[in-house]
Amino acid sequence: GSGSTLAREEDDDCAIEARPEEPTRVEGKAQQLRGSGSAGPRCHGVQPQPRHRPRSCEGLSDKVASDVEPLHGFKFSFLCLSGVDDSVSPRTLCDISQEFSFVEWGVNFRAEKQGKEPRYASLAWLRQLREEVDRRQQTGKFAPIHFAAHLGGEYCVDVMKGDASLVRTLWEDYGFLRVQLSPTRAHGVNSTQLRKYLTSLKSVIVALPQVEFVLEVTKETRGLSFALMDEPQPNLAFLFVSDEPAKGDSSSSSAPPLRPPPCPHPGIHVGYGGALNVDNLRDELRRIASTVDDPKRPVWVDLEAGLRSQGPGKHDEFDLGKVWSCIRIIFDLGLPRPRPSYAASSSR
């Protein structure tokens, strides 16, 4: 199977970083990911449990009393940290997840970029991740580890056309409980006539109730996303992405981004992303909580560009220092940990 092959090829955890990844064919997407030695579904998303206060957060300034009040009743589900790639060890991600149950890792999928550009993990890295999760499950001391697959390009289009094979593989073989679709030009998708995919996409969502599907909501995707909001499925969530400043202050680079109110149906899981970083996360959480204004609405936030570093020797690098800073903000705010999303709670 692919697991034993990978074990023979790699001497240690740094093997992937130590040598360039071989070019990978883009055909047969589900087959590329599916290993012949699959051990069945990996359903990691169970109820997050409260942890003891970890050492990594000791010594933080105690601002809890002043910070929690504006967020009182805010039903926070996940801090999604996206764009993990071969520059970070799967073992490190799993270690962090074991300590902080509200962390979710976003893995980008786009055929022509996979393993060739920053923010796109290689297939060898994904196999290593699967082996690390399996190893931890076998020890019997395994806390939930949350992963979301973020699909762009032809991967995204195939799902919208009604092909459930890739999503099924990601769920069964790799334990991805959430799959995000980003049908925008920036993610390599022609977004001019998205509404034509309404029926075929809904068929995939209905066929895989154990997976939570996330649709990115922007001006480009509103034809499809608004139609799905009119008749929402219980395992469909919406991510509102904004890169724009607030109206009336568009000339100011410091203007806060727009955060639209969530879809009107109560209980639908919603997320907010775009223009989030370590410096503004605390304030943006307050703005998002004020916008949502519903203690029964589960909400997550997603960061990607705000986790990267540029500089000498660093080209768009996934920055673990920024990851820790974001985690500390969430932990220090003492945000409540609600039930997991629909997909996680129904997967067993």
Tell me what pLDDT residue 30 has.
56
pLDDT at 49 over 50: no
Tell me what pLDDT residue 69 has.
56
The full DSSP string for 125-142 is HHHHHHHHHHHHHHHT--
For residues 323 and 247, the model is more confident at 323
pLDDT at 48 over 80: no
Tell me what pLDDT residue 253 has.
56
Would you tell me how many other CB atoms lie within 10 Å of the CB of residue 63?
Answer: 11
Tell me what pLDDT residue 264 has.
74
What 3-state DSSP class applies to 308? strand
Percent of the chain with pLDDT over 70: 72
Least confident residue range of 18-27, 75-84, 99-108:
18-27
Tell me what pLDDT residue 34 has.
55
Is residue 197 within 8 A of residue 228, CB to CB? The reply is no
Mean pLDDT of the 105-117 span = 97
Least confident residue range of 203-217, 222-236, 262-276:
262-276
Is residue 151 within 8 A of residue 112, CB to CB? The reply is no
Question: What gap in Å lies between CA 266 and CA 246, rounded to an integer?
Answer: 26
The most confident of the ranges 74-78, 184-188, 231-235 is 184-188
CB neighbour list of residue 301: distance below 8 Å, 6 or more residues apart: 78, 79, 80, 271, 272, 273, 276, 281, 284, 285, 288
Tell me what pLDDT residue 336 has.
58
pLDDT in tens, 146-191: 999 999 999 999 999 999 999 999 999 999 999 999 999 999 999 9
Start-to-end CA distance of the chain, whole Å, equals: 26
Strand ranges (DSSP E) for 27-152? 76-82, 103-109, 146-151
Tokens representing 78 are: 């996940």
* AA letter at 152: G
For residues 236 and 267, the model is more confident at 236
Report residue 337's pLDDT band, with 50, 70 and 90 as the boundaries.
Answer: low
Is residue 232 within 8 A of residue 266, CB to CB? The reply is no
Mean pLDDT of the 82-92 span = 97
Tell me what pLDDT residue 345 has.
47
The full DSSP string for 182-251 is --SGGGT---TTGGGGHHHHHHHHHH-TTSEEEEEESTTTHHHHHHHHHS--TTEEEEEE--SBPTT-TT
Compute the mean pLDDT over every residue in the chain, rounded to the nearest whole number.
80
> Among 78, 72, 68, which residue's Cα sits nearest to residue 301?
78
Tell me what pLDDT residue 31 has.
61
Report residue 314's pLDDT band, with 50, 70 and 90 as the boundaries.
Answer: confident
Least confident residue range of 202-206, 222-226, 254-258, 276-280:
254-258
What 3-state DSSP class applies to 168? helix
Which bin fits 35, alpha (ψ -120 to 50), beta or left (φ > 0)? beta
Tell me what pLDDT residue 54 has.
42
Is residue 302 within 8 A of residue 106, CB to CB? The reply is yes
